[in-house]
Amino acid sequence: MDCPCVNYKRRAMSETAEHIVEQSHPAAGRTLTGAEIIVQVLADEGVETVFGYSGGAILPTYDAIFRFNESQNAAMPLVVPANEQGAGFMAAGYARATGKVGAAIVTSGPGATNTVTPVRDCMADSVPMVLITGQVARAAIGTDAFQEAPVANIMSPVAKHVFMVTDPEQLEATVRTAFEIARSGRPGPVVIDVPKDVQTQQNVFRGSGVLPVPGYRQRMQALRDNKLSSDKCRAFFELFEASQRPLIYAGGGVINAGASQALRDFAHRFELPVVTTLMGIGALDTSDPLCLHMLGMHGTAYANYAVEDCDLLIAIGARFDDRVAGVPSQFAPSARAIAHLDADASEINKVKAVDWHHVGLFSESITQLTLYGQKHNVGTTPSAWHEHLTELRQTYPMNYDQESDLIQPPAVMQAINRQTNGNAVVATGVGQHQMWSAQYCQFREPRLWLTSGSMGTMGFGLPAAIGAAFARPDRQVIDIDGDASIRMNIGELETATTYDLPVKVLVINNNGDGMVKQWQKLFFMGRLSASDKSLHKKDFIKAAEADGFKFAQRLSDPAALDDTIEKFLAFDGPAFLEVEVDPDAGVYPMVGPGKTYSEMITGDYIATRGE
């Protein structure tokens, strides 16, 4: 029998995540199984791709997806990875590249526990995802049944919210509420644990309704209602007009809230220079003259010195984390005032005391400030500050060993830039290659830069790129990975070729855990404990060919870099390129743990203040 589900999208996505029922649902009143209800709500919520791996406890829902796609012309393709962790990161890559809620469905027990890392990764970086996990039948819960795991207990500390559905009549409202929670306020992952017998039990589909979560909705309503008053706008611009060296410090919250254009308008109207966090890259076009690029542990020297010199720091969607404000008391030491705009009240004064703050929707709040400043003819940032920043750029530019006989990783990033002009989606693993990508790659728009920030999860890059390729078929998608990081989820190479995705996988091979080795050289007297992979036997080219890559090449000649990168990116279909780079190349600048920006290590090719 065909699945009785229908392809019906009730509403458009919005920052408020309110449910607006414009007409009765065509499936309302029908009797559906719990699995069919799950699939119907997914379709209603606009889910276009589901990532997941099957198993006994989730089979009813997988069968419902199969029948839905048969009846709806494959409207919700199911993408099967090599591992459930890959499914979670694919859903995350989809969400990061689009701003929509990523969806993953896995089975019970190990299927669910394999997704703990991507759930935590999404929570740490505020990425909206709904994960549906199968569970043993209700009567077997707590008996150590086959493939049983206490999903709610395991996931609760790492997810935004967890539901365990024990009442079949609540299933429909639960799934709908999960999407509401995932995308509203500060986005995050929501887990729904569904026993197998709940998936098979039949219930009447209502076509509307959510769970009563009054406390959460009150907080969300308060967030939406908390507009910037004229008095608060005036107080902000009093700080601005009293400053001579204002600086915006923009984080991932700006991108997550879809507020990048509002930020750009604000910065341009008042000629405000901008530094971004790792997660905020792309909020401002990296080629914009106002963009000073990334700050923090591996930020540009001129961005960090700008933070040292500013007298007004304006934090927007940023949380003063340890990779940015390693020594909070010494962060922005010359700032006479700090302003902080965020969607999460818990971030205000959490790490750094501020002089002005507002908790509200980003785009609306930033626009309010811009309009107030225009209405009251507020001036622009003093030219002397811009001249000072230009001098910082010229004195402390990014640089590396350009005379080496070995390929230098920054040169690889620059070669990519020459081909993509900052318009490609770039996902990364975690390590040195991630930081070189952040430092040297260009991004014209938000949601082109996909990386694991707070969790720093190795193995993120390849599955995230696959998720992005499904989400953005209009864009070139590149996974810039490391030889150690890609090993973590290398099985997903086959996923790329199975679905014939034109993902370009570039592995920076420096024979080991490059960032760990860099720390060991600097702080552990060069003892390379468990980080040197030069004796490992992985032949990445053979691995890629075995997984179906028709383009699989190794590059070690610097003279062939540009030509090889051009051919690699132009290849029609999945392509794999291993670049053997200088194994001793380091990521600089670097602010050591527990150090201040004034103690920044810039290496041999970037100048340092006082030299």
User: Residues with catalytic annotation?
Assistant: 84, 146-147, 196, 515
273 cis-preceded (ω within 30 degrees of 0) = no
Chain Cα centroid distance, residue 34: 32
CB atoms inside a 10 Å sphere around CB 62: 22
What sections of 345-444 are H helices per DSSP? Answer: 362-375, 383-395, 409-420, 432-440
CA-CA distance, 334 to 148, in Å (whole number)?
Answer: 56
CA distance 533 to 192: 40
Nearest to 574 by CA among 513, 499, 518, 511: 499
The vertex-102 CA angle with 439 and 477, nearest 5°, equals 40
Q: Which two tokens stand for residue 571?
A: 């290849």
- Calpha distance 316→571 (Å, rounded): 40
- Cross-strand bridge partners of residue 134: 194
Q: Are strands 78-79 and 50-53 parallel, antiparallel or unpaired?
A: parallel
DSSP label at 594? T
Q: Identity (one letter) of the amino acid at 134?
A: G
Q: What amino acid occupies position 181? A: I
Question: How many DSSP H helices and E strands does the chain contain?
Answer: 22, 20
CB 3 within 8 A of CB 36: yes
Residue 74 makes CB contacts below 8 A (sequence gap 6+) with none
3-state secondary structure 96-145: HHHCCCEEEEECCCHHHHCCHHHHHHHHHCCCCEEEEEEECCHHHCCCCC
Instruction: Give SS3 for 580.
Output: strand
What Å distances lie between residue 44 and 37, 76, 132, 422, CA to CA? 10, 11, 16, 34
- Residue 422's contacts (CB-CB under 8 Å, 6 or more residues apart) are 285, 286, 287, 441, 442, 443, 444, 448
Instruction: Round to whole Å and give the CA distance between 466 and 94.
Output: 8
Beta carbons of 474 and 497 less than 8 angstroms apart: no
